[in-house]
Amino acid sequence: MQDFLPVTRKEMKERGWEQADFVYVTGDAYVDHPSFGTAIISRLLESRGYKVGIISQPDWRKKESIQVFGEPRLGFLVSAGNMDSMVNHYTVSKKHRQKDSYSPGGKMGLRPDRAVIVYSNLIRQTYKKTPIILGGIEASLRRLAHYDYWENKVKHSVLLDSGADLISYGMGEHSIVEIADSLESGIPVEEITYIPGTVFKCKDLDRVYEPILLPSFDEVKEDKKTYAESFAVQYENTDPFTARPLAEFYGSRGYIVQNPPARPLTQTEMDDVYALPYTERIHPMYEKLGGIPALEEIKFSLTSNRGCFGGCNFCALTFHQGRILQTRSHESLIREAERMTKDPEFKGYIHDVGGPTADFRQTSCQKQLTKGVCKNKQCLFPEPCKNLTVDHSDYVSLLRKLRKLSGVKKVFIRSGVRFDYVVADRDKTFLRELVEHHVSGQLRVAPEHVSDQVLKYMGKPSHSVYEKFLHEYDAANKKTGKQQYAVPYFMSSHPGCTMKEAVKLAEYVRDLGFTPEQVQDFYPTPSTLSTCMYYTGIHPLTGEKVYVPRNPHEKAIQRALMQYKNPENRELVLEGLKMAGRMDLVGYGPKCLIRPIREHSKNTSSESRSDKNRRSSGKTKTADRKNRSGGKQANVRTQTNTRKNTAEKKKTRGGRR
């Protein structure tokens, strides 16, 4: 148990501690693995000499649940966990999910909705003056006024609703150490206003250097155009080299101030973070409860990078991890892989080597290392920037080293390959080695849509780029003698997607010859550019008006169109085709999506009563013979037919080669 940080007062006493310096309250189960934010931040503080106790998934209905260690000497750290609690609990249609992968046995209901607010208020009821610092993705993406999809309104900065003192936003290694050192030196938490990567509250702006004054909360709440303008300013100030402090006014409650983001980790710093003494296991208290499903999914995967310059509008990475890429060294990754091979459960397969985008292993251009990313330009959209450095050689070298390790049979890439970056690379070595060594029959890629209009609002390249990737992928497979498929991810109901575009996507799915088992409906999560478009109907960077499918019934139709073969979707598909003026797709031709319904009259003139009687009599005699032969034979035949049908479905499943 000494390998884990203490989770009870008894364990704290066994370590010889009279008081913890920090108590970390988290909505996740305690997993001591660097894929979990709780583990990284707590181990990092431990490495700096601070004593950290862990309270995982406290019962928010009982104040005693956060009093496990008593009052910490320096403060409480509060996080909802690796996922936003609302996304964790609800589907895009706002229905309750059945499984929580970050809880023991996948059990749902062990954390509250809006966990950081609930936990923080629970703490404040008992510890009136103890500093509370929020962190993790839930707090990070709600750091300023934001549209809340679940309540369909603009909400305050989470700092106000929680009663906390500070937010450590983004990837918090730098900021949390500075916060800890400041508190240790005796600086009152209300005077910690200068640390990059933090958000604080104040009565006036006397201590804020050259802030950008955003529209007030009342203004963004009342006017959608003002909300979009405020979001655009925030979007342009997400870079640590160029961003300025942002201040948002809340009337008598003062200001919420966001300092510029923390600097990205250097490779040495990132290696140090992943070299901390993690047990890389779940806490033993969960073993009898079925383990933690989320760990099983990533246990034998390697995180090689952070950040993403892909710039997809529906992704929160720009606001959370940033666009500047950060990587671990080959040596760091190989050491972790070697430890992995010694695990008794390791079967020889490394499941993934990647991050937000697997094949990004360097900044998009050298300028970013000293001057940051461009404020008004993207690296890959709408076309690759002329200054973009396209080079897979470092990633290829890393993968080759991992393949050669003793005990490693196969190294897969599953976290997503950026296909437009692959197409932009004139050297096709990576693509060749990808299909030869790192794909298991199917490569999952994310074109998201086929309509260039929708792709524009998504911040994705035109569909022709994806078609070019498929051509190159097919050619690479033929050269290596493999028969492998590209399985595309598609999204329905994104801003800009009319019913016409939804039908166009359905036609593309038809031509592929497969039906997606799961369809991702656009989910308006906090602090993405697409969510701003969803709420306001305005593209915040251009001021352009955008069509938004908000009606739940329309969203259901768009989703059903991608699964038009499902009989349960027939009426929705028919309605969608009528709305799009595409009734030509109802019929018997090879391009039709659904068949028409034949209307049968009770009295059919073309069929005589005697013909009906003869046919009915024949059916009765056949049925009698089947019944006399016994039900067992019929059941065997049914099972055989079912197996045949299943086999045929498997043959046709899998997407485009």
Q: Which residues fall in the annotated binding site for [4Fe-4S] cluster?
A: 308, 312, 315
- Stated as kind and residue range, the H or E segment containing 370 is helix 368-371
Contacts of 439 (CB under 8 A, 6+ apart): 412, 413, 482, 484
Q: How far is CA 211 from the centre of its chain?
A: 31
To the nearest 10°, the Cα dihedral for 498, 500, 506, 509?
-90
Contacts of 402 (CB under 8 A, 6+ apart): 302, 333, 334, 337, 350, 353, 408, 411
The answer to whether residues 48 and 74 touch, using CB atoms and an 8 Å cutoff, is no
Structure tokens at 303: 């995180």
- Nearest CA-CA partner of 554 in 603, 500, 591: 500
Specify binding-site residues. Answer: 308, 312, 315
The answer to whether residues 36 and 5 touch, using CB atoms and an 8 Å cutoff, is no
Beta bridge partners of 26: 56, 79
Which CA distances in Å does 527 have to 30, 153, 231?
A: 27, 14, 8
| 255-258/301-303 β-pairing | unpaired
Per-residue DSSP letter, 585: G
At position 461, the amino acid (one-letter code) is P
To the nearest 10°, the Cα dihedral for 253, 254, 260, 263?
-60
Contacts of 36 (CB under 8 A, 6+ apart): 28, 82, 294
Concatenated DSSP letters for 53-102? EEEES--TT-GGGG-TT-S-SSEEEEE--SS-HHHHHB-TTSPBPS--TT
- Nearest CA-CA partner of 563 in 549, 582, 545, 576: 576
Structure tokens at 470: 């498929």
Give the number of other Cβ atoms within 10 Å of residue 142's Cβ: 28
The answer to whether residues 552 and 93 touch, using CB atoms and an 8 Å cutoff, is yes
Beta bridge partners of 249: 255
Distance CA 312, CA 283 (A): 36
Per-residue DSSP letter, 104: G
Structure tokens at 145: 């006024």
- Nearest CA-CA partner of 149 in 99, 199, 84: 84
- Stated as kind and residue range, the H or E segment containing 520 is strand 520-521
Contacts of 192 (CB under 8 A, 6+ apart): 166, 179, 182, 183, 198, 200
Per-residue DSSP letter, 586: B
